[in-house]
Amino acid sequence: MSLQELDFHGQPALRLALPEGGACTVALHGAHVLSWTTADGTERLYLSPEARFDGQSAIRGGVPLCWPQFNQRGPLPKHGFVRNVAWRADPAGAAGKADTLVLALHDDEATRAIWPHAFHAKLAVTLAPHSLRIALTIDNTGGAPWSFAAALHSYLRVDDIDQATLEGLQGANRWDAVRDDRHVDLAPALRFGTEFDSVYAAPARPLHLVQPSGTLEIAQSASCTETVVWNPGPELSAQLADLPDDGWRHMLCVEAARIDEQVLLAPGGSWQGWQLLTVL
């Protein structure tokens, strides 16, 4: 196992690599997972070739962190603020685990100007030959309770969205954000081609992203009570400045999330949400 510091499009990043060839790269900006390759060299995450790396904007692709707000459901910037600030590497946080990369963020004057609470956030990225586990831990280090929403906004790479299906959400309660409609999804497998933006009640069993080239299993912690599935489709993709017009064809967001019932965290309290991606 090797860990190296590198410059990624002008931004400081860390790369964790396995002896057998798998690797992941995480930017300090936003504690943003940028890349995950398995031992065969296949890239499993989608990172937009037009993503901005200016140290201020959110990075399009990879795994952005949404916290303490999801989307525009509140007074904060879209998806909160932690994806837009610099984190620091925390070697001590890995507790001697060579397969785990840990980044940390504490509240400071800048964060308290946006959100007036004391917190400690930690992102632990654990790499194995066929899997990647991303865990977000939030601690309330202040003297009063506060609430939050969260999501691991994973952009998964697909060869061709026309040939990809997502299995495991049949029977789940669904809010279709495109049509503003709530219903139970009866489809045994989801297919994509137009804008798709839905929040599902997270099922107990892992999902499967199925493609001709293979299957990716997607599991999440019970603390993440929703699963968000998003693909911009051709029209929205063409409108997003940091996404190629055909970017929608090569990505599918499947997000571990806590949205509708926010976490209320007492002083001294801790919460963790995780997502585990496994190549079958």
The answer to whether the beta carbons of residues 230 and 237 sit under 8 Å apart is no
- Name all domains of the chain by residue range, CATH numbers in brackets: 2-279 (2.70.98.10)
User: Of the given ranges (33-37, 87-91, 102-106, 188-192), which has the lowest mean pLDDT?
Assistant: 87-91
Q: What is the pLDDT at residue 86?
A: 94
The answer to whether the beta carbons of residues 245 and 223 sit under 8 Å apart is no
Q: Judge whether 153 counts as a catalytic residue.
A: yes
Confidence of residue 95 (pLDDT cuts 50, 70, 90): low
First to last CA, the chain: 22
For the cut 90, the answer to whether the pLDDT of residue 141 exceeds it is yes
For the cut 90, the answer to whether the pLDDT of residue 62 exceeds it is yes
pTM, full prediction:
0.96
What mean pLDDT comes out for the span 223-237? 97
Classify burial at 272, counting beta carbons within 10 Å of its beta carbon; exposed 0-12, middle 13-18, buried 19 or more: middle
Those residues with Cβ within 8 angstroms of residue 109's Cβ, 6 or more apart along the chain or in another chain: none
- Considering the chain, what percentage of its residues have pLDDT values greater than 70? 99
Helix (H) or strand (E) holding 234: helix 233-239
Report the candidate in 124, 109, 114 with the shortest Cα–Cα distance to residue 68. 114
Q: Judge whether 226 counts as a catalytic residue.
A: no
> Of these residues, 29, 79, 250, 255, which one is catalytic?
255
Chain centroid, CA 201 distance in Å: 17
Confidence of residue 73 (pLDDT cuts 50, 70, 90): confident
Which residues on neighbouring strands pair with residue 36, listed in sequence order? 24
> Of these residues, 153, 195, 208, 261, which one is catalytic?
153
User: Of the given ranges (52-56, 222-226, 255-259), which has the lowest mean pLDDT?
Assistant: 52-56
